[in-house]
Structure 1
């Protein structure tokens, strides 16, 4: 038994209470709050999405986006097409984890997706559940960025409540079927995520149990789901961390898509692992060398040269255990974003310049960023998926703090890369002045030369109808702001000009570039004095003349009073025809619309609707297209309960 803190202990409820407060069972009954799903091997056999009233609220609907390497990657030192990055992240306790976000800005809003290939939804505990399906919000955000999401199976050591019978139940056969695997396949397909991470750390097994586990993996993978194996159980059925690919664990690796190597690897052990993977006809990048950053984040000591030897191909891929340290250790949202930037990009805060004497140079130093911006339309409001307020087209519609990763936009590819000489402008994400959502892009400073703020790597085929749009505003004086669109080696410079105390939308036709591929979007700030500019939206679209169709058949599934002036409600509706990015829910007061929340789904739990006893309110649900065109609202009356 290793002396390190076990994999499972770090996913226990007690270890996660700072991420999201638990609600007692009575509160769940009172508000009908849907929660993310979890099971033991025996209880998952009884799961049926048609009878689980939370199942509809746990579905992700965003397809996995295609990603490409930028035409001009930021960092010449980083490698392309070699090491991948896994992130094992715990967002909340195993139980009482709200399915669709909550009214709290304090949340690990993952937003450096460009460096992540797979996100494992970490968690599980003996007392609560061992098989965890990810929140749909996490899957929505990850898929929009081209990142696969993997559910977690955690079979704990006996010292922490594990029971060998649970492992036997997990791999139990019925003829040529594995009933638990069948249910796991059903869960993943119903909820829309991509596979399962198998972490078997329970002692007491034998060679037969190991063979059954291997066959279980084979059966599970036949469904098309991805399987990641954690280096713990060996071919004898014992638990013995190899910290490498060896003869003891190769039987599991050869049947899995990937294997996460335990944290105590060595230079020679990784080299031997890579060599053995190749002998097996596998890529060494199907092995992820584990790095435990839960306690110290970017202060963790890592033998980077073993994974990423200088001047040579990467040895293996990389697996981060608990990178949400950047959130858990932070004192404020601004501190979280500063720590997250340093974790992924390095101490210079610039993915194009990772040269540093610091041991932790950031992931951008080693791994080339990827972009999911490969098809029209592309529109971003720089919405990070949490905020202090929520704005719609420049008007604040809610002053309630919130988190909901389903509403997160694709954020800038490069955070932050500014070219120019002398003093440069400083880009940042601003929660105080959003245009649409909870965040806007802010650029401040007094540049001494023309500064180019590189924002988005794209691969967008332009048509005769395509247009570029930008919504921005500045303080007093000329904005001195230009948009720079790059088509291969050619640049198109668009002067945004004018003085704008209010939000201003500018549209530029791109038909002259029909057939060309837009590869980059930047903003140029010209010298001449102080600059304060807010950018609320950037988009490249083929505009349509008709808005999306409205959803229909809005139903109130349940209303629950939370206090004298507020109720919660479960709402469902029939999806609008055509492609829809998200649905937004409002209360209409007769004079204003109050934003209540949003989802990509056709079911949404509204946690707080201002409504006194006996009052009747009009609830509106509208469909929002990928270009943020909005449908007419579908309406339903809601009367406050006593």
Structure 2
């Protein structure tokens, strides 16, 4: 097991030295909204009415319902037992853009189907100890049914921790805890689901431990989730138990979950599970911590202690820093290969995790979940970052970008291909997207028909439901079929058509009214080599009326980047009804350029090229869940701040 104490320490130079940049910020940098963070004393002064970044830090995507697929991929995995917590650091504590940024170089979380909760990891003594998640992370997680948890980091004294900060954190005013009240306000405003409490500052006493326990009780009354980290004990000292014991049970008793430190043993976990049951709690409210920050899937793990073969799981699983797959990668392709192996195993197929390797992939133990439980469902296979951005088959920006708010629900199974002879190879493609930054690509020379299992669904079909696929192939017939599964019944739809540009195939599903669509696959018929791009798959109840345009578009601030470029803070009034996202463009008509998008009603554009006359025409469109688009709302922006 790991013996490093990196769990609570960010290894950045800023975290260790306490130094902040002394170079004055440019106007453009001042204009950039950043993710929120505070010390216990400074959060008391936070007010969304006076925080100029507050409106840019809101997530508005509701938490989706998730279900176990009708046909899970892996017979070895066990549903409804262990949950998975992922503690992820997306960026340094400070200077983390709130709404994405130019550049593809970003940890785009993709395997949400195996994660139950994501803790937004970070914090340092010099910058801030209480972190609210970026809205981009919360938007993507909620769309996939994953709860997002903010982080509180009260560091060891060796890394700048101060016992006074802990006392400030749990300070009372009568029957109130002022910091807890602010944490509730932050979570409600920002739109995330709870807080991870990580108290590692030494020097406490029994009274301080009692105050911390009471703080948890008070915080939980808000309905937010609270996760406790195994460090502080009931004496107030810091002593990692690596188990649920008499020393930390008081904190677990008041929390929703506890993350157990990394140095656990098989017997310690078994005893922890037994004690949890004695307390009337589920053992799956305990997460056995695994530190993968340094070695990822090369980390040695005693898997049988958590997931004994042929028996119920002992506890849940806590993964510390799975973004190793991104940090250690040499390219986007390398990142996606590493990420697939981390979550699915070295075979690259969640249905086949048989291997002699110690790391068999999370899919070997934990059954995937699907958030595709209500209509409409539309995906463009958008991963949340890319080299370019396309809209309905036309590239509208050649600027590399990242923004998880725009991420679609990605395939449930990556990749599960059936067919005995020379199966095809599915992958994600960033070179030729249909809408967003990515398309699904299928290549190969199949000698027999092969099915690419894509999406587990639980969609109630009505008399007006349609299924659609947008795809393109090379010369000749596409040899693609869509296979829809309704319980034990399959319906095969021939996509056909000659090769060339993007082609939309749509099929009414009214004859299946009252049935539940449980699976979507693509079948490739045998023949010559095939290269197919799938740009969109959707199951919708089409309507003739597009969403209304947003109103009252305003330029809140313009900042000069250079002589020909400005940045801008934009706000607007939301369109009525369910809106998936707003897209911001420069220009009008066929020549307009995509500037970015958000699920929010405020967006920061980092770079707008000024036209003659030092002006730019801006359009904002509302996009529905079915990707119906409103008329544009327009505003003229001048380059004079």
| Matched-pair contact (CA < 8 Å) for 2:469–2:534 | yes
Distance 1:24 1:81 in 2: 52
Distance 1:412 1:473 in 2: 19
| Matched-pair contact (CA < 8 Å) for 2:15–2:127 | no
| Matched-pair contact (CA < 8 Å) for 2:27–2:559 | no
Measure how far apart 1:590 and its partner are.
6.4
Name the structure 2 match of 1:240. Answer: 239
| Matched-pair contact (CA < 8 Å) for 2:285–2:316 | yes
Name the structure 1 match of 2:230. Answer: 231
Q: Are 1:7 and 2:39 matched, yes or no?
A: no
Partner SS for 1:578: coil
Name the structure 2 match of 1:217. Answer: 216
Distance 1:597 1:339 in 2: 28
Measure how far apart 1:615 and its partner are.
2.0
Name the structure 2 match of 1:263. Answer: 262
Q: Which runs of 5+ in 1 are unaligned?
A: none
Name the structure 2 match of 1:279. Answer: 278
Distance 1:40 1:28 in 2: 26
Measure how far apart 1:4 and its partner are.
2.2
Distance 1:30 1:314 in 2: 48
Partner SS for 1:254: helix
| Matched-pair contact (CA < 8 Å) for 1:11–1:124 | no
Measure how far apart 1:561 and its partner are.
1.2
Name the structure 2 match of 1:355. Answer: 354
Write the deviation string for residues 505-539 of structure 1: whole angstroms up to 9, x where unpaired: 11100000000000000000010110100000000
Query: TM-score with structure 2 length normalisation?
Result: 0.98
| Matched-pair contact (CA < 8 Å) for 2:474–2:531 | yes
Partner SS for 2:26: helix
Query: TM-score with structure 1 length normalisation?
Result: 0.98
Name the structure 2 match of 1:62. Answer: 61
Name the structure 1 match of 2:173. Answer: 174
Measure how far apart 1:22 and its partner are.
9.1
Distance 1:445 1:630 in 2: 35
Measure how far apart 1:211 and its partner are.
0.3
| Matched-pair contact (CA < 8 Å) for 1:23–1:96 | no
Distance 1:356 1:145 in 2: 29
| Matched-pair contact (CA < 8 Å) for 2:461–2:513 | yes
Partner SS for 2:482: strand
Measure how far apart 1:641 and its partner are.
2.6
CA pair 72-601 structure 1, distance change in 2 beyond 3 A: same
1:310-329 paired onto structure 2 within 5 Å: 310-329=309-328
Measure how far apart 1:12 and its partner are.
4.2
CA pair 22-320 structure 1, distance change in 2 beyond 3 A: farther
Distance 2:349 2:21 in 1: 37
Name the structure 2 match of 1:414. Answer: 413
Measure how far apart 1:565 and its partner are.
1.9
| Matched-pair contact (CA < 8 Å) for 2:550–2:573 | yes
Partner SS for 1:9: coil
Name the structure 2 match of 1:376. Answer: 375
Measure how far apart 1:614 and its partner are.
3.9
Name the structure 1 match of 2:306. Answer: 307
Name the structure 2 match of 1:149. Answer: 148
| Matched-pair contact (CA < 8 Å) for 2:7–2:320 | no
Name the structure 2 match of 1:601. Answer: 600
Name the structure 2 match of 1:93. Answer: 92
Q: Are 1:481 and 2:510 matched, yes or no?
A: no
| Matched-pair contact (CA < 8 Å) for 1:22–1:97 | no
| Matched-pair contact (CA < 8 Å) for 1:13–1:93 | no
Distance 2:563 2:482 in 1: 50
Measure how far apart 1:195 and its partner are.
0.1
Distance 2:589 2:59 in 1: 33
Distance 1:554 1:235 in 2: 54
Partner SS for 1:189: helix
| Matched-pair contact (CA < 8 Å) for 1:485–1:492 | yes
Measure how far apart 1:15 and its partner are.
7.8
Distance 1:408 1:617 in 2: 28
Measure how far apart 1:591 and its partner are.
5.3
Distance 1:528 1:61 in 2: 47
Say how many residue pairs are matched: 638
Name the structure 2 match of 1:135. Answer: 134
CA pair 22-420 structure 1, distance change in 2 beyond 3 A: farther
Q: Are 1:547 and 2:546 matched, yes or no?
A: yes
Distance 1:29 1:250 in 2: 49
Name the structure 2 match of 1:438. Answer: 437
Distance 2:21 2:292 in 1: 24
Partner SS for 1:197: strand
Q: Which runs of 5+ in 2 are unaligned?
A: none
RMSD: 1.6
Distance 2:247 2:410 in 1: 43
Partner SS for 2:553: strand
